[in-house]
């Protein structure tokens, strides 16, 4: 088993998680960030990259992606390590006081401290609003494709109009018994090239395209048999033994809820001196943290990161004196930041 060891594991690579690397780095702590998205930036990158933010001190206006880019530039001297596309699943306290974190892909990390900077939670596929769909999840209904073979010979229903929906329609069409793509309207968000390929297969009668919304599912014992699609011309029922709905992402607290931390309405209560949770050594900053007067602002998260870093340093290097220094004047901080003499 390969174990990645670091000083601090940061769960979430949004703006606050990224800035935590800076504050921890000034105190000589190495960080490893884990995020379920495939790139840094969290909500800033996923939800509103082009939107301007007006309350970042010193920046009258900066786009969300612009802020992420600047933060990445700012923390580069500390060489943070990233694991993307993974969700932290379990956390275990080690005998020496540290923590072991395992991801949903069974990668193992160990650190002296854990910082939860998970914002609104992890981005997870949104369950489509179809009554009774829960009963078929994991057996017939999937939100991602792990093994294409699982779809061979099935009547597959792909729902959605974005790239994921079109890509899997095209990739699974040769394997499936019959693929039906269902989309609410004739326009697609997906890349025009994929849409053209799909239309060509449809013209050759190698797949079906239905404009409408899935309103009902039927089957038994968790095995899907058919789906009802409501379109402009009424409802029709089509055979369906596998379904791939692509309805975007939503945010969920996820496995963090099982870590034994005290929670306050899906947020993590912390003290406002150290931003430590109810479990010593686990800190929470940014939107996921809660304390009286908490504001879900990026700038508040930056402040929380700075104070948390002091506490994390005392935990990781007990007995070591922490000298308060300014980045403007400290030659030792300049060396860490790579500022030329």
Taking the least distance from each CB to other proteins, the nearer of 51 and 177 is 51
Shortest Å distance, C-beta 122 to other proteins:
14
CB 175 within 8 A of CB 152: yes
Taking the least distance from each CB to other proteins, the nearer of 39 and 51 is 51
| Spatial separation of the C-alpha atoms in residues 6 and 78, rounded to whole Å | 13
Binding site for other proteins (CB under 8 A): 43, 46-48, 51, 120, 126, 128-129, 160-162, 183-185, 187, 189, 213, 247-248, 250-251
Shortest Å distance, C-beta 131 to other proteins:
10
Shortest Å distance, C-beta 213 to other proteins:
7
Shortest Å distance, C-beta 187 to other proteins:
7
| Spatial separation of the C-alpha atoms in residues 328 and 200, rounded to whole Å | 62
Taking the least distance from each CB to other proteins, the nearer of 37 and 315 is 37
Q: Which of 287, 275, 295, 294 is nearest to 23 (CA)?
A: 275
CB 282 within 8 A of CB 271: no
CB 9 within 8 A of CB 115: yes
Taking the least distance from each CB to other proteins, the nearer of 35 and 46 is 46
Shortest Å distance, C-beta 189 to other proteins:
5
DSSP state of 178: E
Q: Which of 126, 66, 122, 76 is nearest to 298 (CA)?
A: 66
Taking the least distance from each CB to other proteins, the nearer of 51 and 79 is 51
């Amino acid at each position: 088993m390969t174990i990645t060891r670091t000083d601090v594991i940061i769960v979430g690579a949004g703006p606050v998680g990224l800035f935590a690397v800076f504050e921890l780095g000034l105190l000589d702590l190495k960080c490893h960030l884990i995020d379920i998205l495939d790139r840094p930036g969290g909500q800033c990158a996923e939800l509103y990259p082009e939107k301007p933010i007006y309350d970042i001190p010193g920046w009258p206006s900066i786009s969300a992606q612009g802020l992420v880019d600047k933060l990445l530039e700012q923390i580069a001297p500390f060489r943070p390590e990233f694991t993307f596309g993974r969700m932290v699943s379990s956390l275990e306290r080690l005998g020496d006081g540290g923590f072991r974190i395992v991801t949903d892909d069974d990668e193992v990390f160990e650190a002296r401290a854990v910082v939860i900077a998970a914002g609104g939670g992890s981005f997870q596929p949104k369950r489509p609003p179809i009554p009774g769909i829960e009963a078929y999840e994991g057996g017939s209904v999937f939100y991602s494709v792990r093994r294409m073979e699982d779809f061979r010979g099935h009547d597959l229903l792909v729902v959605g109009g974005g790239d994921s929906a079109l890509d899997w329609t095209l990739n699974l069409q040769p394997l499936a018994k019959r693929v039906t793509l269902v989309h609410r309207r004739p326009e697609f968000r997906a890349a025009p090239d994929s849409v053209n390929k799909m239309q060509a297969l449809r013209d050759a009668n190698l797949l079906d395209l239905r404009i409408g919304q899935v309103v009902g599912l039927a089957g038994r014992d968790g095995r899907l048999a058919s789906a009802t699609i409501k379109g402009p011309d009424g409802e029709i029922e089509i055979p369906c033994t596998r379904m791939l709905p692509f309805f975007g992402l939503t945010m969920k607290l996820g496995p963090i809820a099982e870590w034994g931390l005290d929670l306050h309405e899906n947020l993590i209560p912390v003290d406002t001196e150290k931003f430590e949770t109810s479990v010593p050594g686990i800190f929470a900053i940014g939107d996921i943290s809660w304390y009286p007067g908490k504001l879900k602002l990026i700038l508040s998260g930056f402040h929380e990161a700075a104070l948390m870093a002091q506490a994390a340093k005392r935990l990781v290097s007990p007995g070591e004196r922490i000298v308060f220094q300014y980045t403007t004047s400290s030659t030792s901080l300049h060396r860490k930041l790579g500022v030329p003499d």
